[in-house]
Structure 1
Amino acid sequence: MRVEIPPLDKVDIRLLRVFKAVTECNGFAAAEETLGLGRSTISIHIADLETRFGLKLCVRGPSGFSLTPQGQVVYEATLRLFSEINSFRTTVAGSKGQLMGELTIWQMENIASDRLNPLVGALRRFRERSNGVEITMNVVPSNDVERGVYDGRCDLGLTGSRSPLNGLKYEQAYSERISLYCGSKHPLFDRSASALSDDDLRQVDFVRRGFVTRQQEMVETNWNSTVVSMHVEATLEFILTGLHIGYLPDQYSAAWVDLGILRKINPERFSVDWPVYIVSRESNAPSVLVSTFRDDLLSESRHLANQEAN
């Protein structure tokens, strides 16, 4: 029996919010805290949505949670729907000189302690205006920030990753100093830079960063690598074993350097300034919320850069 898709009403919007949360939490159990609902209630809501649409949206079982092909279509349509609803609220509020709606920001990990990170100052600037904006922030791997902006799961991103994704706008916020490190248990730890040869470095096992492209990785082409890290913290843990060397942000590594369990390897050769970007979607008419907060990020970036220079 064919089931027509009914006109959307308030109930459908509520059920779609549940479905979106379950999808992004990758399961019913993980979505309980996010939604503030019990698993049985979530299950009922998803079943109700499937009944209303006449579609099987997801599968859950011993192998885990996954969307059906139809569920993936509904999820992507849900992102577009909520984006348009938020855009409507923002546009109408803007016509009254108000900031209203929802703003979602994703940032890469371990940048809160960077004195050049403009996010905290930008938040203060944004909140100095009278507004009723609900801001959601998330910390994810660097390359996931780009994908989140691209897919519409977030409005703005702050990341050191730059992939060839069409439709994204990259504006440099600041540079993060990163260096090549080894741990105190590594054979190179007590070797001076002048005593390190290229042959020595060809023997190391390098931590390859899975969140940057090979073209972005600052390593010699003949360095060995048997491990891949998707997070800065995982890179640190590999390095601390004494079996690997790898790149880390200097501001993040400082505490372990002070403890004497990390050191830089030939910083004159291997330390670089890595750009951190503000990422947004290319648009001829970006939402007032996105453009306002992006401008605040850029203004704060310039302010911090001037402070650093003086």
Structure 2
Amino acid sequence: MLSQLHDLDLQLLRIFVTVVESGGFSAAQGELGIGQSTISTQMAKLETRLGFRLCERGKAGFRLTPKGEQVLAATRKLFGAIETFKGEARGMSGLLLGELRIGLSEALDNQVLQRLGKAIGRFRQRNQAVHFELISAMPAELERRLLQDQLHLAIGYFSRTQAALDHQPLFGEQERLYCAVGHPLFHRDPVSLDDLSRYDLVQHPYRFGEAMEPFQSGPSSARTEQVECSLAFILSGAHIGYLPEHIAAPWEASGQLRALLPEQTGYRVNFHLSSHRGRQPSEAQMAFVEDLLAAFGDV
């Protein structure tokens, strides 16, 4: 009885189908390229494997037994399924599958978002069926999710102290020190570094853990990681603080914010594309990184 299907069984079943479609052993010789005695031996092997007769052959001619009819129908289904599998497997050979979970830093510049959109557009033109998920979070949260395999990639300004993470430079963002209408420095001209040191500066506990800010003041009563919250502190008129230039630009244009000593206190924050170095990237992840780097290549 046939309990497992081997390559030999498939070969025997193909001979069986050819014999049936040719109308008998003798007629199948030309189609199979083997002699009638060999065909008879192969058919006998198949019947032995199955444990029952498939056909009657003799002076009365060739005809299938009832079980032979059922085996023929089942064999045609099997071969049809094999061809379907082969076709689908060929189609999948260049198909990108799976999912991509990508973390983004907060308050990205519109030009950065446009380039990210361009990268996604490039990727969607590939032969792919990938599910995307974009998550916006603070850098510490993005790092945590990368380390816990909750993200495949993250774009942000990272401390770069996590040895388990790889970082590729992606773009830079200009930071400047600002005050708002109502702050004592807003109309003062000129302003000195000594003047700045007298006022309450918004502290950023994560973003600038490596003391990236050129200007550092004394004690502060305002603390936040979020850009939007920094803006709120500054707009209160009670604090000075750092903001990305693109966030401050519309407020500065409307006369509500002023950059303080931009040449002396301004600096550039480098954003990176980060991933877990201990995880093997999927084909989809590698392809998207390629598209992402291409989109940001001229930044």
TMscore range, shorter length: 0.5 to 0.7
Paired position in structure 2 for 1:223: 218
Task: Describe the shift of the 1:123–1:112 C-alpha distance in structure 2 as closer, same or farther (beyond 3 A).
Answer: farther
Q: Does the alignment pair 1:235 with 2:262?
A: no
Report the alpha carbon displacement of residue 93 of structure 1 after superposing the two structures with TM: 10
Amino acid in structure 1 at the alignment position of 2:270: P
Report the alpha carbon displacement of residue 253 of structure 1 after superposing the two structures with TM: 1.2
Paired position in structure 2 for 1:182: 179
Distance 2:123 2:213 in 1: 36
Report the alpha carbon displacement of residue 290 of structure 1 after superposing the two structures with TM: 1.6
Paired position in structure 2 for 1:145: 142
Q: Which sections of structure 2, spanning at least 5 residues, go unmatched?
A: 1-88
Q: Choose 267-276 or 139-148, whichever is displaced more.
A: 139-148
Distance 1:286 1:296 in 2: 15
Paired position in structure 2 for 1:259: 254
Paired position in structure 1 for 2:281: 286
Distance 1:94 1:223 in 2: 64
Report the alpha carbon displacement of residue 147 of structure 1 after superposing the two structures with TM: 1.9
| Root-mean-square deviation over aligned CA pairs | 2.2
Task: Describe the shift of the 1:112–1:214 C-alpha distance in structure 2 as closer, same or farther (beyond 3 A).
Answer: closer
Paired position in structure 2 for 1:211: 206
The number of equivalent residue pairs is 211
Task: Describe the shift of the 1:249–1:108 C-alpha distance in structure 2 as closer, same or farther (beyond 3 A).
Answer: same
Correspondence 1:79-118 to 2 at 5 A: 96-115=93-112, 118=115
Report the alpha carbon displacement of residue 119 of structure 1 after superposing the two structures with TM: 1.2
Residue-by-residue CA offset, 1:70-110 (whole Å, 9 max, x unaligned): xxxxxxxxxxxxxxxxxxxxxx9997211111110110111
The alignment's TM-score, normalised by the length of structure 2, stands at 0.66
Secondary structure, aligned partner of 2:111: coil
Identity in percent: 30
Please identify runs of 4+ aligned residues in structure 1 that moved more than 6 A.
92-95
Secondary structure, aligned partner of 1:170: strand
Amino acid in structure 2 at the alignment position of 1:246: G
Paired position in structure 1 for 2:57: none
Paired position in structure 1 for 2:49: none
User: Which of the pair is proportionally richer in strand?
Assistant: 1
Paired position in structure 1 for 2:244: 249
From 119, 141, 145, the counterpart of 1:122: 119
Secondary structure, aligned partner of 1:302: coil
Task: Describe the shift of the 1:130–1:216 C-alpha distance in structure 2 as closer, same or farther (beyond 3 A).
Answer: farther
Report the alpha carbon displacement of residue 162 of structure 1 after superposing the two structures with TM: 2.4
From 283, 287, 292, the counterpart of 1:297: 292
Residue-by-residue CA offset, 1:25-63 (whole Å, 9 max, x unaligned): xxxxxxxxxxxxxxxxxxxxxxxxxxxxxxxxxxxxxxx
Paired position in structure 2 for 1:269: 264
Distance 1:277 1:152 in 2: 18
Report the alpha carbon displacement of residue 223 of structure 1 after superposing the two structures with TM: 3.0
Report the alpha carbon displacement of residue 128 of structure 1 after superposing the two structures with TM: 1.0
Residue-by-residue CA offset, 1:170-225 (whole Å, 9 max, x unaligned): 11111111111111111111123xx2223211111111113324324414444332
Distance 2:174 2:136 in 1: 20
Task: Describe the shift of the 1:178–1:202 C-alpha distance in structure 2 as closer, same or farther (beyond 3 A).
Answer: same
Task: Mark the structure with the bigger radius of gyration.
Answer: 2
Paired position in structure 2 for 1:44: none
Q: Choose 277-286 or 204-213, whichever is displaced more.
A: 277-286
The alignment's TM-score, normalised by the length of structure 1, stands at 0.63
Report the alpha carbon displacement of residue 118 of structure 1 after superposing the two structures with TM: 3.0
Residue-by-residue CA offset, 1:92-150 (whole Å, 9 max, x unaligned): 99972111111101101111513586311111111111211010001111322222212
Contact (CA 8 Å) 2:115, 2:296: kept in 1 or not? Answer: yes
Contact (CA 8 Å) 2:202, 2:240: kept in 1 or not? Answer: yes
Distance 2:247 2:96 in 1: 35
Report the alpha carbon displacement of residue 288 of structure 1 after superposing the two structures with TM: 1.2
Report the alpha carbon displacement of residue 284 of structure 1 after superposing the two structures with TM: 7.4
